[in-house]
Amino acid sequence: MHYKFEKPVSGTIGTEKYQCSIEWRNGKFIADEPEHTGGKDTGPDPSTLLLSSLISCTLITLRMYIDRKGWDIPEIKISANLFHTIQDDKTTTVIDRDISFPGPLPPDPEKKERLLEIAQHCPISKILEGGIKVRSFVYHEEAVEKEMKYPNNDITVIWKPEVCKHSGRCVTQLPRVFDLKSRPWINMSGADTAAIIDQVNKCPTGALSYVRNEKDQQTT
Ligand code: SF4
Protein backbone atom coordinates (compact mmCIF):
# COMPACT_ATOMS: atom_id res chain seq x y z
CA MET A 1 0.00 0.00 0.00
CA HIS A 2 1.45 3.35 -1.05
CA TYR A 3 -0.12 6.72 -0.44
CA LYS A 4 -0.72 8.80 -3.53
CA PHE A 5 0.92 11.86 -2.01
CA GLU A 6 4.37 12.16 -0.52
CA LYS A 7 3.07 14.94 1.70
CA PRO A 8 -0.49 14.50 2.99
CA VAL A 9 -3.04 17.26 2.63
CA SER A 10 -3.57 18.80 6.07
CA GLY A 11 -5.84 21.40 7.62
CA THR A 12 -6.29 23.41 10.80
CA ILE A 13 -9.11 25.43 12.32
CA GLY A 14 -9.01 27.83 15.26
CA THR A 15 -11.92 29.63 16.90
CA GLU A 16 -12.70 31.90 13.92
CA LYS A 17 -15.94 30.42 12.52
CA TYR A 18 -15.45 28.40 10.24
CA GLN A 19 -12.24 29.30 8.52
CA CYS A 20 -10.01 26.32 7.80
CA SER A 21 -6.52 26.60 6.47
CA ILE A 22 -5.81 23.74 4.10
CA GLU A 23 -2.23 22.99 3.21
CA TRP A 24 -1.33 21.06 0.08
CA ARG A 25 2.07 20.20 -1.39
CA ASN A 26 2.59 23.60 -3.01
CA GLY A 27 0.72 26.10 -0.86
CA LYS A 28 -2.31 26.88 1.27
CA PHE A 29 -5.92 27.90 0.70
CA ILE A 30 -8.91 28.75 2.84
CA ALA A 31 -12.10 26.73 3.18
CA ASP A 32 -15.14 28.10 5.00
CA GLU A 33 -18.89 27.75 5.34
CA PRO A 34 -21.44 30.12 3.78
CA GLU A 35 -23.02 32.77 6.01
CA HIS A 36 -26.33 30.95 6.36
CA THR A 37 -24.56 28.11 8.16
CA GLY A 38 -22.54 30.43 10.40
CA GLY A 39 -19.36 30.95 8.35
CA LYS A 40 -18.07 33.98 6.47
CA ASP A 41 -17.87 32.45 3.01
CA THR A 42 -14.17 33.35 2.71
CA GLY A 43 -13.42 30.16 0.79
CA PRO A 44 -15.15 27.19 -0.79
CA ASP A 45 -17.17 24.94 1.53
CA PRO A 46 -16.44 21.19 1.71
CA SER A 47 -19.18 20.19 -0.77
CA THR A 48 -17.95 22.79 -3.25
CA LEU A 49 -14.45 21.38 -2.90
CA LEU A 50 -15.78 17.91 -3.62
CA LEU A 51 -17.53 19.10 -6.79
CA SER A 52 -14.45 21.12 -7.79
CA SER A 53 -12.38 17.99 -7.51
CA LEU A 54 -14.72 16.12 -9.85
CA ILE A 55 -14.93 19.03 -12.29
CA SER A 56 -11.18 19.59 -12.51
CA CYS A 57 -10.44 15.88 -12.84
CA THR A 58 -13.00 15.54 -15.63
CA LEU A 59 -11.66 18.61 -17.45
CA ILE A 60 -8.06 17.42 -17.23
CA THR A 61 -8.92 13.88 -18.33
CA LEU A 62 -10.94 15.15 -21.31
CA ARG A 63 -8.23 17.60 -22.32
CA MET A 64 -5.60 14.86 -22.23
CA TYR A 65 -7.76 12.56 -24.36
CA ILE A 66 -8.72 15.26 -26.88
CA ASP A 67 -5.09 16.33 -27.30
CA ARG A 68 -3.97 12.74 -27.73
CA LYS A 69 -6.57 12.26 -30.46
CA GLY A 70 -5.64 15.58 -32.08
CA TRP A 71 -9.29 16.69 -32.15
CA ASP A 72 -10.02 20.37 -32.61
CA ILE A 73 -11.97 21.11 -29.44
CA PRO A 74 -10.65 24.38 -28.02
CA GLU A 75 -12.80 24.62 -24.90
CA ILE A 76 -14.59 22.36 -22.45
CA LYS A 77 -16.99 23.62 -19.83
CA ILE A 78 -18.38 21.66 -16.90
CA SER A 79 -20.79 22.55 -14.15
CA ALA A 80 -21.85 20.23 -11.34
CA ASN A 81 -24.31 20.19 -8.49
CA LEU A 82 -25.56 17.62 -6.03
CA PHE A 83 -28.58 16.61 -4.01
CA HIS A 84 -29.37 13.96 -1.44
CA THR A 85 -32.25 11.52 -1.27
CA ILE A 86 -33.18 9.58 1.85
CA GLN A 87 -34.98 6.27 1.68
CA ASP A 88 -35.29 3.81 4.58
CA ASP A 89 -32.71 5.81 6.57
CA LYS A 90 -30.22 5.42 3.72
CA THR A 91 -28.85 8.63 2.20
CA THR A 92 -27.90 8.58 -1.46
CA THR A 93 -26.03 11.50 -2.99
CA VAL A 94 -26.59 12.24 -6.65
CA ILE A 95 -24.09 14.41 -8.51
CA ASP A 96 -25.17 15.86 -11.85
CA ARG A 97 -22.30 16.81 -14.13
CA ASP A 98 -23.07 18.89 -17.25
CA ILE A 99 -20.40 18.93 -19.93
CA SER A 100 -20.42 21.28 -22.91
CA PHE A 101 -18.07 22.19 -25.75
CA PRO A 102 -18.55 25.88 -26.53
CA GLY A 103 -16.27 26.01 -29.66
CA PRO A 104 -17.44 27.06 -33.15
CA LEU A 105 -18.24 23.47 -34.20
CA PRO A 106 -19.66 20.96 -31.72
CA PRO A 107 -17.95 17.53 -31.79
CA ASP A 108 -19.85 15.00 -33.94
CA PRO A 109 -22.20 12.60 -32.09
CA GLU A 110 -19.71 9.74 -32.14
CA LYS A 111 -16.97 11.86 -30.57
CA LYS A 112 -19.46 13.24 -28.05
CA GLU A 113 -20.39 9.71 -27.02
CA ARG A 114 -16.73 8.77 -26.57
CA LEU A 115 -16.04 11.96 -24.58
CA LEU A 116 -18.93 11.16 -22.27
CA GLU A 117 -17.46 7.69 -21.67
CA ILE A 118 -14.04 9.20 -20.94
CA ALA A 119 -15.58 11.72 -18.52
CA GLN A 120 -17.39 8.94 -16.68
CA HIS A 121 -14.10 7.13 -16.16
CA CYS A 122 -11.94 9.99 -14.90
CA PRO A 123 -10.02 9.05 -11.74
CA ILE A 124 -12.20 11.05 -9.33
CA SER A 125 -15.39 9.57 -10.86
CA LYS A 126 -13.95 6.14 -10.21
CA ILE A 127 -13.17 7.04 -6.61
CA LEU A 128 -16.62 8.48 -6.01
CA GLU A 129 -18.43 5.57 -7.60
CA GLY A 130 -16.17 2.86 -6.23
CA GLY A 131 -15.72 1.65 -2.69
CA ILE A 132 -14.44 4.35 -0.38
CA LYS A 133 -13.37 3.65 3.16
CA VAL A 134 -12.48 6.56 5.41
CA ARG A 135 -10.21 5.49 8.23
CA SER A 136 -10.00 8.00 11.07
CA PHE A 137 -7.44 8.14 13.85
CA VAL A 138 -7.60 10.51 16.78
CA TYR A 139 -4.34 11.89 18.07
CA HIS A 140 -3.58 14.27 20.85
CA GLU A 141 -0.31 15.88 21.63
CA GLU A 142 0.75 15.07 25.16
CA ALA A 143 3.89 14.47 27.11
CA VAL A 144 4.70 10.78 26.97
CA GLU A 145 7.40 9.34 29.14
CA LYS A 146 8.02 5.91 27.62
CA GLU A 147 10.27 5.69 24.61
CA MET A 148 12.34 3.03 22.89
CA LYS A 149 15.54 3.75 21.01
CA TYR A 150 16.91 2.06 17.89
CA PRO A 151 20.35 3.21 16.69
CA ASN A 152 22.41 2.68 13.57
CA ASN A 153 25.75 4.35 12.86
CA ASP A 154 24.26 7.73 12.01
CA ILE A 155 20.99 8.21 13.85
CA THR A 156 18.86 6.88 16.68
CA VAL A 157 15.19 6.35 15.95
CA ILE A 158 12.96 7.01 18.94
CA TRP A 159 9.58 5.27 19.16
CA LYS A 160 6.92 6.28 21.70
CA PRO A 161 4.59 3.27 21.96
CA GLU A 162 1.83 5.22 23.74
CA VAL A 163 1.61 7.66 20.86
CA CYS A 164 1.76 5.03 18.12
CA LYS A 165 -1.71 4.38 16.75
CA HIS A 166 -0.61 1.41 14.70
CA SER A 167 -2.02 2.98 11.60
CA GLY A 168 0.57 0.80 9.89
CA ARG A 169 1.97 3.46 7.62
CA CYS A 170 5.59 2.74 8.46
CA VAL A 171 4.97 -1.01 8.26
CA THR A 172 3.40 -0.89 4.83
CA GLN A 173 5.72 1.72 3.37
CA LEU A 174 9.09 0.49 4.66
CA PRO A 175 8.59 -3.15 5.72
CA ARG A 176 12.32 -3.93 5.60
CA VAL A 177 12.74 -1.68 8.62
CA PHE A 178 9.36 -1.67 10.35
CA ASP A 179 8.04 -5.18 10.90
CA LEU A 180 5.60 -5.83 13.73
CA LYS A 181 6.33 -9.58 13.66
CA SER A 182 10.07 -9.17 14.33
CA ARG A 183 11.89 -8.34 17.54
CA PRO A 184 13.06 -5.66 17.76
CA TRP A 185 10.29 -4.47 15.47
CA ILE A 186 12.50 -1.70 14.04
CA ASN A 187 15.44 -3.13 12.12
CA MET A 188 17.91 -0.30 11.54
CA SER A 189 19.91 -2.39 9.04
CA GLY A 190 16.89 -2.79 6.76
CA ALA A 191 17.44 0.42 4.79
CA ASP A 192 19.87 3.30 4.50
CA THR A 193 19.68 6.22 6.89
CA ALA A 194 18.08 8.58 4.37
CA ALA A 195 15.20 6.14 3.71
CA ILE A 196 14.64 5.64 7.43
CA ILE A 197 14.59 9.39 8.10
CA ASP A 198 12.15 9.84 5.23
CA GLN A 199 9.80 7.25 6.72
CA VAL A 200 10.15 8.56 10.27
CA ASN A 201 9.11 12.00 9.01
CA LYS A 202 5.92 10.48 7.59
CA CYS A 203 4.67 9.12 10.93
CA PRO A 204 1.38 10.99 11.42
CA THR A 205 1.32 10.85 15.22
CA GLY A 206 4.84 11.84 16.19
CA ALA A 207 5.39 8.34 17.60
CA LEU A 208 8.56 8.16 15.54
CA SER A 209 11.35 10.70 15.68
CA TYR A 210 15.11 10.55 15.35
CA VAL A 211 18.26 12.23 16.59
CA ARG A 212 21.64 12.29 14.96
CA ASN A 213 24.21 10.34 16.95
CA GLU A 214 27.02 12.17 18.65
CA LYS A 215 30.30 11.33 16.90
CA ASP A 216 31.96 9.35 19.69
CA GLN A 217 28.88 8.20 21.52
CA GLN A 218 26.23 5.72 20.43
CA THR A 219 22.81 6.04 22.07
CA THR A 220 21.33 2.67 22.99
S1 SF4 B 1 3.57 5.32 11.25
FE2 SF4 B 1 3.80 6.04 13.36
S3 SF4 B 1 1.80 5.75 14.28
FE4 SF4 B 1 1.83 4.53 12.41
S5 SF4 B 1 2.48 2.48 13.05
FE6 SF4 B 1 4.30 3.59 12.44
S7 SF4 B 1 5.06 4.48 14.33
FE8 SF4 B 1 2.97 3.90 14.73
Instruction: Write the pLDDT tens digit of every residue in 10-35.
Output: 999 999 999 999 999 999 999 999 99
User: From ligand 1's centre to the CA of 160, what distance in Å?
Assistant: 9
Burial of 159 (0-12, 13-18, 19+ CB in 10 A): buried
Q: Is 160 in the pocket of ligand 1 (CB under 6 A)?
A: no
In the three-class reduction of DSSP (H, G, I as helix; E, B as strand; rest coil), residue 159 is classed as strand
Model confidence band, residue 106 (pLDDT cutoffs 50, 70, 90): confident
Residue with CA nearest ligand 1 atom 2: 203
User: From ligand 1's centre to the CA of 157, what distance in Å?
Assistant: 12
Model confidence band, residue 145 (pLDDT cutoffs 50, 70, 90): low
Rounded average pLDDT over 189-216? 90
* pLDDT reported for residue 99: 96
User: From ligand 1's centre to the CA of 11, what distance in Å?
Assistant: 20
Whole-structure pTM value: 0.70
Instruction: Write the pLDDT tens digit of every residue in 30-87.
Output: 999 999 999 999 999 999 999 999 999 999 999 999 999 999 999 999 999 999 999 9
Question: Which domains are present in the chain?
Answer: 10-129 (3.30.300.20), 148-212 (3.30.70.20)
Model confidence band, residue 218 (pLDDT cutoffs 50, 70, 90): very low
* pLDDT reported for residue 3: 78
What single DSSP character describes residue 106?
Answer: P
Model confidence band, residue 146 (pLDDT cutoffs 50, 70, 90): confident
Report the candidate in 104, 107, 93, 110 with the shortest Cα–Cα distance to residue 54: 93
Examine the pLDDT at 149 and tell me if it is beyond 70. yes
Given ligand 1 and candidates 157, 165, 196, 209, which is best to mutate, with the most ligand atoms within 8 Å of its CB? Answer: 165
Instruction: Write the pLDDT tens digit of every residue in 121-137.
Output: 999 999 999 989 888 87
Report the candidate in 40, 148, 127 with the shortest Cα–Cα distance to residue 31: 40
* pLDDT reported for residue 169: 85
What percentage of the chain's residues is helix, strand, coil (to nearest 5)?
25, 25, 50
Contact status, residue 97 vs residue 58, Cβ threshold 8 Å: yes
User: From ligand 1's centre to the CA of 164, what distance in Å?
Assistant: 5
Burial of 117 (0-12, 13-18, 19+ CB in 10 A): exposed
Given ligand 1 and candidates 169, 171, 201, which is best to mutate, with the most ligand atoms within 8 Å of its CB? Answer: 169
Examine the pLDDT at 141 and tell me if it is beyond 60. no
Residue with CA nearest ligand 1 atom 6: 170
Q: Is 123 in the pocket of ligand 1 (CB under 6 A)?
A: no
